Amino acid sequence: MASTPNLYEVQSTEQFQELLSADLNRVSLLNFWAPWAAPCKQMNEVVVELGKKYPEVLVLNVEAETQSEIAESFEVESVPLFVILRGHTLLDRVSGADAPLLTKSLAKHAIGQGPKPLSTTDKSPAPASDSIVHDSEKAGESPEALEQRMRALMNQSKVVLFMKGSPDAPRCGFSRKISALLKDNTIEFTHFDILTDEAVRQGLKKLNDWPTFPQLIVKGELVGGLDIVQEMVDSGEFAEVVA
């Protein structure tokens, strides 16, 4: 990507926090992207042009998979995703390759920067995918019933992948990679899209003491995420686990 004085390629969480905290009255545009996602290529060019148009705005390009800790903190489910902040206060989120909407939103918030406090109406809701829940959650599912349901899901087959999206249409790079890894090793597995059930999504984090997704379950027990599964495959240990 081309660079402008106000545009930075984020290399670490520490750098990200330092840049974001330097001026809490400054508007920032966070561009979460991935090299494998074709729509990101076009939008990266749009972001560069917006950085040139609004030199007062801090523009941070964040490669979602490389900087996974930052991506998780902003609940990045798919890329491209754009977050507009003033200091640490959320102003807007724009999902997908929607250049007109991003341009309009940044123009709105980049004008008249200052120390004025934001009302709650300025805060954009989370992505629509985060609000999709099953009827059981809407009905007020008890913690006991939720745990029973989660354990049933974890035991629906020998190998269960809790992921974002589906193996044919993954919603994040980590889910895409672990699905491909299982397929390449001819592992039969079922999957559950945690974006369709917020109760399961949050409940599994606590039940398995594992804060991120994907989560791979074998014989009802957590094995781990992408990194651990990759290490086990490389060492030959994974074949023994799923035998």
125, exposed or middle or buried, with CB in 10 Å at 0-12, 13-18, 19+?
exposed
For residue 34, is it within any domain? yes
| 79 and 174 belong to one structural domain | no
Q: Both tokens of residue 169? A: 């249409």
Q: Quick one: pLDDT at residue 90?
A: 87
CATH number of the domain enclosing 13: 3.40.30.10
For residue 1, is it within any domain? no
| 70 and 173 belong to one structural domain | no
For residue 86, is it within any domain? yes
| 11 and 110 belong to one structural domain | yes
Q: Mean pLDDT of residues grouped by 10 in the chain (243 residues)?
A: 80 91 92 92 94 95 90 84 90 92 94 42 34 43 92 96 92 87 95 92 91 91 90 93 91
| 14 and 124 belong to one structural domain | yes
Task: Give the range of the structural domain holding residue 121, as residue numbers without chain letter.
Answer: 7-130
| 91 and 193 belong to one structural domain | no
Rounded CA separation 7/193 (Å):
35
Q: Quick one: pLDDT at residue 116?
A: 36
- The beta-strand segments (E) located in 81-141 are 81-86, 89-95
Q: Quick one: pLDDT at residue 141?
A: 81
CA distances from 177 to 8, 64, 65, 97, 170 (A): 27, 14, 11, 22, 9
Give the residue from 167, 136, 164, 166 showing the smallest Cα distance to 152.
Answer: 136
For residue 93, is it within any domain? yes
| 39 and 73 belong to one structural domain | yes
For residue 111, is it within any domain? yes
Q: Is the peptide bond before 80 cis (omega within 30 degrees of 0)?
A: yes
Q: Which of 130, 145, 170 is the last residue of a domain?
A: 130
Rounded CA separation 71/32 (Å):
7
Q: Which of 80, 99, 130 is the last residue of a domain?
A: 130
Number of domains the chain is built from: 2
Quick check: 46 and 33 in contact, CB under 8 A? no
CA distances from 83 to 70, 71, 73, 157, 173 (A): 12, 11, 12, 38, 19
Q: Quick one: pLDDT at residue 63?
A: 95
Quick check: 57 and 8 in contact, CB under 8 A? no
| 48 and 156 belong to one structural domain | no
Q: Quick one: pLDDT at residue 115?
A: 35
The single-letter DSSP state of residue 117 is: P
Quick check: 243 and 182 in contact, CB under 8 A? no
Rounded CA separation 140/143 (Å):
9
For residue 2, is it within any domain? no
| 140 and 189 belong to one structural domain | yes
Coil, helix or strand at residue 56:
coil
Q: Quick one: pLDDT at residue 3?
A: 60
Q: Which of 130, 155, 175 is the last residue of a domain?
A: 130
H or E, element range at 30:
strand 27-33
Rounded CA separation 112/68 (Å):
32
| 155 and 117 belong to one structural domain | no
